[in-house]
Structure 1
Amino acid sequence: MSKKDSVHSTKSKSIDKKVPLWLWLLGLMTAIGPLTIDMYLPSFPAISADLQVPQHRVELTVSTYLLGLALSQLFYGPIADRYGRKKPLLGGLMIYMLATIGCALASSVESLLFFRCIQACGAAAAMVIPRAVIRDQLNTRDSAMAMSMMMLIMGVAPILAPLMGGYLSPVTGWRGLFAVMLFYSAIMFFLAIFRLRETMPPEKAVPLHLRTIAKNYAGLLRDRNYMGFSLAGGIGMSGLFAYISVSPTVFINMYGVPQQHFGLFFGLNAFGLIVGSQISARLLRVHSPLGILRTALTCGFVSILIGLSLSLAGMLNLTLLTLTLLGFTTSLGFILPNATALASGIKDIDWALPLH
């Protein structure tokens, strides 16, 4: 790593007045995750027809992606603590690009499942490393504000991705959507090379000893505060991803939403996530992250309970479904940045298990 790429962390930077360039870049890189998940959702019927498999088999490509994403995050943290932030990020983006090519050329649902898992292993770097960079430079409160601002940047992806997918898929085919993902990730790769600077001082590098890594993870699992904040965000994200994986079936097949309009319903919920995160960032100037998190968890639970009650009573139509989902995703806009910042601030371990 060249000296010009090295930036020693002082955790003294402020983000009260404007979003710095490095945070914009991290947000754009983190957007690779929702872009990869959401863009091809409207093309599930087309993929099912092309590969000659039931649509529920195509839905497994989301589950496979999430599985690869969850497992690979465990490895990027220790690697980033050993080799810095920049090199693992570039390596992950390279894996992502190669796997995306494999997805575009997949001739069977089995090969698509395989390459989607590898794609997730690369995309995980763009989720773990930005959080470590934020931790390098900001304290817990400013980290929560940075997470909220980054969610604004990356939150555009869940709105635009299904809309783009709905309109591009009939023209380019579902394989062309993976070409768009490849193009975007290539831009992020070169921006990371020339614009992203190393934030971990060399003297803080941690050797890759399996016993030390296992000890650190065991310590986190025994920490009740850390596990509480991690589960608060993780369980919320599990509900979000459960919704994402079945949303094409629910909106398109069950409620008859046209493929081109699917992105409007999907994007509305993403908009709620953005609104919640931005209100949270402003509330952090006068309220604690813990207080905001507690209130948001209550609101999210109430939204889920209302939706479940309406469903069991047979009263859940498209309008009510959209409203209850909007309430849930808006609460996630408050939950995710604060839970992430609070969990990350428990211990001085940069590779603490990410929430999503």
Structure 2
Amino acid sequence: MLITLAGEDLRRGRRARLAVVLGSLAAFGPLTIDMYLPAMPGMAHDLHTSAPLVQLTLTVFVVGLAAGQVIAGPLSDAWGRRRPLLLGLALYVAGSLWCAFAPDVGWLIAGRAVQSLGAATGVVLSRAIVRDLFEGTAMTRFFSTLMLVNGAAPILAPVVGGQLLTVATWRAVFLVLAGFGTVLSVAVVLALPESLPAQRRRSGFRDTLRAFRTLGTDRHYLRHVLAAALMFAAVFAYISGSSFVLQEVYGLSAQQYSLVFGGNGLGIVLFGQLNGLLVGRVAHEHTLLRGALGVAVTGAASVAVAAVARLPLPVLLVSLFVVVSMLGVVLANATSLALAGHGASAGAASSLQGLLQFLVAGVAASAMSLAGQASAVPMAATMLVCAAAALGVLTLARQPVSARSAPPSSP
């Protein structure tokens, strides 16, 4: 049987297949965002609209990604993981096709909303399934393993998107995303058995409300969820602003930009894997999390100095790499620490994490867009504020490490 408390009984081949499928589901967000980033300036021209309206398609997707998780997570606690997941994948494919054939920016925004609700199921349920199968350090290591696949999305997506633009229009990007959703639907049917047995499912709406009330009063959970959300917002400011900043302010081509973006994604993968090697052997999750946030704040401060002083582009790019690379370490440790004590309500806990993560990111991106894209300063300021706030939340709300060492509740 696939389910195990510690995750150590999974055979290596099955564990690898599980990592590929769950990592691909978790990658829905970055993949669907990053692949069309190089096309955003061209989309504004082709659809005869403004850059802020094209950026709104990104904000709408993020908000839908947050809202969809609040629906899919608790629903999966009652129905199991597979049925909501397959329904979400069908929505994702339909939304991608809608975007591909959108005649104007209004239809594109609507298609992105549908697409985001489908993508949300993959993002939230990938975390819930990991919590179903793993506990403790084994869970943290598996989340780090997912960064091999999840981190590949920001590496490959903009490169693929940039190369597609050399032979086709931006609409081809959404056709490719529809194909990805179709392939992943087949993979879920064939390779992802149900991880939540009927006897562990929640019976109704009251149970869901009780779970959210418990989560909302758990300082340990909220502390790590907010730290992850604010760090993600710092990186999301880079994601939503760098396409215009690096191409229009610093003069990079779509292909050059995609390579820079992919290089930063490689940093997420490398440091995510380093985290998996270190956790439980060299350092505790708390130590690695605080260290990564400290490095991120330092990198964000360097980004701000480079933007304000108009330092050479390599200085800005190195600083951005430092900040973005820390995301793999922060998300793996913060997610594991947040979900550790909530095995009985993994779907609800994962959904609330996703809601806060993407809402905070959406608000940060919207605030940044109001300042315009005439320079890198708005992007840099947003990154620094969010990274510093993440470290502040983790530090100011600090609880004794012994609270984490207590064994988590049984899944």
TM-score (norm. length: structure 1)? 0.93
| 8 Å contact from structure 1 (residues 76, 128) kept in 2 | yes
Seen in structure 2, the aligned counterparts of structure 1 residues 12 and 263 have a Cα distance that, compared at 3 Å, is closer
User: What is the alpha-carbon distance in structure 1 between the residues aligned to residue 20 and residue 156 of structure 2?
Assistant: 17
Name the SS of the counterpart of 2:353 in structure 1.
coil
Residues 1:13 and 2:28 are matched in the alignment: no
| 8 Å contact from structure 2 (residues 99, 108) kept in 1 | yes
Residue 268 (structure 2) aligned to one of 268, 273, 283:
273
How far 1:14 sits from its partner (Å)? 5.3
- Percent of aligned pairs sharing the same letter: 32
Moved more, 16-25 or 41-50: 16-25
| 8 Å contact from structure 2 (residues 17, 191) kept in 1 | no
User: What is the alpha-carbon distance in structure 1 between the residues aligned to residue 10 and residue 328 of structure 2?
Assistant: 19
How far 1:24 sits from its partner (Å)? 1.8
Residues 1:47 and 2:43 are matched in the alignment: yes
Counterpart code for 2:53: R
User: What is the alpha-carbon distance in structure 1 between the residues aligned to residue 82 and residue 4 of structure 2?
Assistant: 15
Structure 1, unaligned runs of 5 or more: 1-5
Name the SS of the counterpart of 1:197 in structure 2.
coil
User: What is the alpha-carbon distance in structure 1 between the residues aligned to residue 16 and residue 268 of structure 2?
Assistant: 22
Aligned to 1:225: 220
Aligned to 1:87: 83
User: What is the alpha-carbon distance in structure 2 between the residues aligned to residue 14 and residue 276 of structure 1?
Assistant: 26
Structure 2, unaligned runs of 5 or more: 358-411
User: What is the alpha-carbon distance in structure 2 between the residues aligned to residue 224 and residue 285 of structure 1?
Assistant: 23
Residues 1:332 and 2:331 are matched in the alignment: no
| 8 Å contact from structure 1 (residues 93, 185) kept in 2 | yes
How far 1:11 sits from its partner (Å)? 3.4
How far 1:31 sits from its partner (Å)? 2.2
Seen in structure 2, the aligned counterparts of structure 1 residues 11 and 346 have a Cα distance that, compared at 3 Å, is same
| 8 Å contact from structure 1 (residues 65, 120) kept in 2 | yes
Aligned to 2:366: none
Residues 1:165 and 2:136 are matched in the alignment: no
| 8 Å contact from structure 1 (residues 252, 262) kept in 2 | yes
Seen in structure 2, the aligned counterparts of structure 1 residues 15 and 295 have a Cα distance that, compared at 3 Å, is farther
How far 1:34 sits from its partner (Å)? 1.6
User: What is the alpha-carbon distance in structure 2 between the residues aligned to residue 16 and residue 195 of structure 1?
Assistant: 14
User: What is the alpha-carbon distance in structure 2 between the residues aligned to residue 230 and residue 247 of structure 1?
Assistant: 25
Aligned to 2:116: 120
Aligned to 1:182: 178
TM-score (norm. length: structure 2)? 0.81
User: What is the alpha-carbon distance in structure 2 between the residues aligned to residue 14 and residue 23 of structure 1?
Assistant: 15
Aligned to 1:263: 258
How far 1:170 sits from its partner (Å)? 3.3
Aligned to 2:207: 212
How far 1:9 sits from its partner (Å)? 4.3
| 8 Å contact from structure 1 (residues 134, 143) kept in 2 | yes
User: What is the alpha-carbon distance in structure 1 between the residues aligned to residue 162 and residue 184 of structure 2?
Assistant: 24
| 8 Å contact from structure 2 (residues 41, 244) kept in 1 | no
User: What is the alpha-carbon distance in structure 2 between the residues aligned to residue 12 and residue 49 of structure 1?
Assistant: 50
How far 1:317 sits from its partner (Å)? 3.0
User: What is the alpha-carbon distance in structure 2 between the residues aligned to residue 65 and residue 119 of structure 1?
Assistant: 7
Aligned to 1:240: 235
User: What is the alpha-carbon distance in structure 2 between the residues aligned to residue 170 and residue 311 of structure 1?
Assistant: 30
User: What is the alpha-carbon distance in structure 1 between the residues aligned to residue 165 and residue 328 of structure 2?
Assistant: 29
Seen in structure 2, the aligned counterparts of structure 1 residues 16 and 329 have a Cα distance that, compared at 3 Å, is farther
How far 1:279 sits from its partner (Å)? 0.6
Moved more, 28-37 or 320-329: 28-37
Name the SS of the counterpart of 1:350 in structure 2.
helix
User: What is the alpha-carbon distance in structure 1 between the residues aligned to residue 201 and residue 254 of structure 2?
Assistant: 49
How far 1:70 sits from its partner (Å)? 1.0
| 8 Å contact from structure 2 (residues 268, 325) kept in 1 | yes
Q: RMSD between aligned alpha carbons?
A: 1.8
User: What is the alpha-carbon distance in structure 1 between the residues aligned to residue 120 and residue 153 of structure 2?
Assistant: 16
Residues 1:350 and 2:354 are matched in the alignment: no
User: What is the alpha-carbon distance in structure 2 between the residues aligned to residue 88 and residue 16 of structure 1?
Assistant: 27
How far 1:105 sits from its partner (Å)? 1.0
Aligned to 2:279: 284
| 8 Å contact from structure 1 (residues 9, 200) kept in 2 | no
How far 1:203 sits from its partner (Å)? 0.6
How far 1:208 sits from its partner (Å)? 2.9
Counterpart code for 2:46: D
User: What is the alpha-carbon distance in structure 2 between the residues aligned to residue 73 and residue 140 of structure 1?
Assistant: 24
Aligned to 2:302: 306
Aligned to 1:77: 73
Counterpart code for 1:50: D
Counterpart code for 1:265: V
How far 1:177 sits from its partner (Å)? 0.9
How far 1:7 sits from its partner (Å)? 4.7
Aligned to 1:3: none
Name the SS of the counterpart of 1:354 in structure 2.
helix
Seen in structure 2, the aligned counterparts of structure 1 residues 232 and 63 have a Cα distance that, compared at 3 Å, is same
Aligned to 2:387: none
How far 1:16 sits from its partner (Å)? 11
Counterpart code for 1:250: V
Counterpart code for 2:6: K
Moved more, 85-94 or 214-223: 214-223
Name the SS of the counterpart of 2:346 in structure 1.
coil
| 8 Å contact from structure 1 (residues 9, 201) kept in 2 | no
